[in-house]
């Protein structure tokens, strides 16, 4: 297991904190500015602002299972924290930083908002047409998912490795070949 490059862990943490702060500040702004359910158009019907309190996941799925979504968010946060020491890829630092910040942003809502701890409703306010309403945390989570897919398709591991021959075996093979060549007597050479 490779150790993480410290700059990559710092990048992950700074990005996660930036997403968390931006998410929470925009939610405070949305709650103070908008009336629940009323739409304020930005780009006609394509993009607008609509304050909603979401008890479920994306697209209001799993409504009524807020406690389970809280557990999932906690597991995501813990998993990223456990993976961080192995970081060896800037792309993965970005992806995991975005994911950590987004998961933490929505987790804060689930922990501190009504109706209670672990069951709080997430503040959503960015309306994408009539399709769904999200927030900054959701944008970060989607961006992280796209990055994770791209990194996986390119075969880049969290530690920065790429699939291919195992360098340890390759080195052992070279050493064995060198030993075989050099093992003869002076008369054999």
Return the active site residues. Answer: 124, 138
Our measurement of the distance from residue 69's CA atom to the centroid of its chain's CA atoms, rounded to an integer in Å, reads 16
CA-to-CA distance for 149 and 151, rounded, in angstroms? Answer: 6
Q: Is 122 helix (H, G, I), strand (E, B) or coil?
A: strand
* 124 phi/psi in degrees, rounded to 5: -120, 145
Q: Which of 126, 159, 103, 160 is nearest to 52 (CA)?
A: 126
Rg of the chain taking only CA atoms, in angstroms: 24
CA-to-CA distance for 86 and 3, rounded, in angstroms? Answer: 5
Inter-residue contact 10 to 87 (CB < 8 Å): no
With both helix axes pointing from N to C terminus, report the angle between 6-33 and 90-112 in degrees, rounded to the nearest 10.
40
């Amino acid at each position: 297991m490779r150790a993480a490059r410290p700059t990559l862990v710092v990048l992950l943490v700074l990005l996660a904190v930036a997403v968390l702060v931006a998410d929470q500040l925009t939610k405070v702004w949305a709650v103070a500015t908008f009336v629940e359910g009323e739409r304020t158009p930005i780009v006609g019907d394509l993009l607008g602002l609509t304050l909603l309190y979401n008890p479920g996941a994306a697209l209001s799925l799993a409504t009524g299972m807020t406690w389970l979504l809280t557990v999932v968010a906690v597991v995501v946060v813990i998993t990223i924290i456990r993976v961080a020491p192995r970081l060896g890829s800037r792309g993965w630092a970005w992806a995991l930083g975005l994911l950590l910040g987004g998961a933490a942003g929505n987790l804060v809502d689930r922990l501190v908002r009504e109706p209670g701890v672990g069951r709080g409703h997430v503040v959503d306010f960015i309306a994408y047409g009539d399709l769904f309403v999200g927030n900054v945390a959701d944008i970060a989570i989607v961006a992280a998912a796209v990055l994770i897919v791209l990194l996986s398709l390119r075969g880049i591991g969290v530690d920065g490795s790429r699939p291919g021959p195992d360098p340890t075996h390759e080195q052992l093979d070279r050493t064995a070949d060198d030993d075989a060549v050099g093992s003869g007597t002076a008369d054999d050479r």
